[in-house]
Copies of this chain bind each other. A is one copy, B any other.
């Protein structure tokens, strides 16, 4: 019988020292001893990428993109070799592969490349020799054989893409948190770890500010039906499993996105504003058409760029935060949110609702309180249970 195949990904903190690499090796050995084939994707040791970038920036504030990729990819080469040595020392056959050696072929966009194709034959051959295969995350080669890197969250992307290409049974993302929470526990102390999250909810949480997984990673896993598991390197637990289509579950999570801006203009300038955003590569999170004004929601740090070319038409720009309740949305949920927050004198500036989420625009100073109030009502307390039948009767 064919053994199950697991892809495990360990980030920079997990690979941060010889001691933590030893902990990583123990997770791998457990999976191997449980009867799995194991492919491991690693990031550079934490701090290493920053060290290399700092060296490059002593030379040029914008170093050549091709050569920056050559430089940065050395980081994973170091960590993968150290991990392979550790496994070897512990008596397990293991081989490290660079992006090039693993045949991870990307497009030619240095520093932000996209994986085009993975020829998995080398990896499969090593797995058939009972080797643990360790692959450098974050890197590949273009069709000329030049080294490329994938940009932010690249190692997660490497892992999930490899899992898809290998038709892995599970892709495990090891990190420094022990799973996906119903809200950021630093904001909502009562936040609950979710044992299972469906893909549409996870996608919406990642899109609306949850940092635990990068959006493209979730999307790729969903598209390729690769079950994703988020778990902690430094705890023994099952983490959170992300799989399946949306159930009938009501609000399962609350995502917070800070440092956003609401840019308001006259109605007639809206389409022009949208065009400028597109031209400048600024993502528009929401378009709002009020009776008095129109507006777009963009990231705060994109404001300056926009104002530089579009200042004359902008009526106002306001620093806001977004709070998104994710899960199957009851029709009364928004009304209930307004009422609950009003009790605490919190004003919702604007709401945008889909079948999977309700995004509330709030002032930055009220978003933490609002998250606690809504989490208490919709997730922690019994009110949720009371609330559901009412939804049905109102729906």
- Measured CB to CB, the residues of A under 8 A from B are 18, 21, 52, 55-56, 58-60, 63-64, 66-68, 70-71, 73-75, 77-78, 80-82, 84-86, 88-89, 95-96, 98, 100-101, 145-147
Contacts and interface: CB of A to CB of B under 8 A. Distances in A.
Given A56-B81, A60-B86, 13 more contacts: A18-B59, A21-B59, A59-B82, A64-B84, A64-B85, A66-B84, A67-B85, A68-B81, A70-B96, A70-B98, A71-B77, A74-B74, A101-B146
Secondary structure at the A interface, as helix, strand, loop or mixed, is helix
Given A18-B55, A59-B18, A82 B89 contact: no
Contacts of A75: 74
A66 B74 CA distance: 16
A323 to B, nearest CB: 43
A86 B21 CA distance: 34
Given A60-B89, A96-B67, A100-B100, A55 B82 contact: yes
Nearest to A80: B70
Given A66-B95, A67-B96, A95-B66, A60 B85 contact: yes
Contact of A82 (B66, B71, B84, B98): B71
A146 B84 CA distance: 14
A74 B80 CA distance: 11
Contact of A88 (B67, B73, B80, B84): B67
Contacts of A86: 59-60
23 contacts: A18-B58, A18-B59, A55-B78, A56-B82, A59-B82, A59-B85, A60-B86, A60-B89, A64-B85, A66-B95, A67-B81, A67-B85, A67-B88, A67-B96, A70-B80, A70-B84, A70-B98, A71-B78, A71-B81, A71-B82, A73-B77, A100-B100, A101-B145
Contact of A59 (B60, B78, B89): B89
A86 B58 CA distance: 10
Contacts of A68: 81, 85
Nearest to A75: B74
A102 to B, nearest CB: 11
A104 to B, nearest CB: 14
Of A55, A59, A73, most buried by chain B (CB within 10 Å of CB) is A59
Nearest to A103: B145
Contacts of A56: 81-82, 85
A62 B60 CA distance: 39
A87 to B, nearest CB: 9
A133 to B, nearest CB: 13
A67 B98 CA distance: 12
Contacts of A74: 74-75, 77-78, 81
B52 A78 contact: yes
A385 B100 CA distance: 62
A35 to B, nearest CB: 25
* A55, A60, A67, A80, most chain B CB atoms within 10 A: A67
A141 to B, nearest CB: 9
A320 to B, nearest CB: 40
A12 to B, nearest CB: 15
A224 to B, nearest CB: 27
Contacts of A98: 70, 147
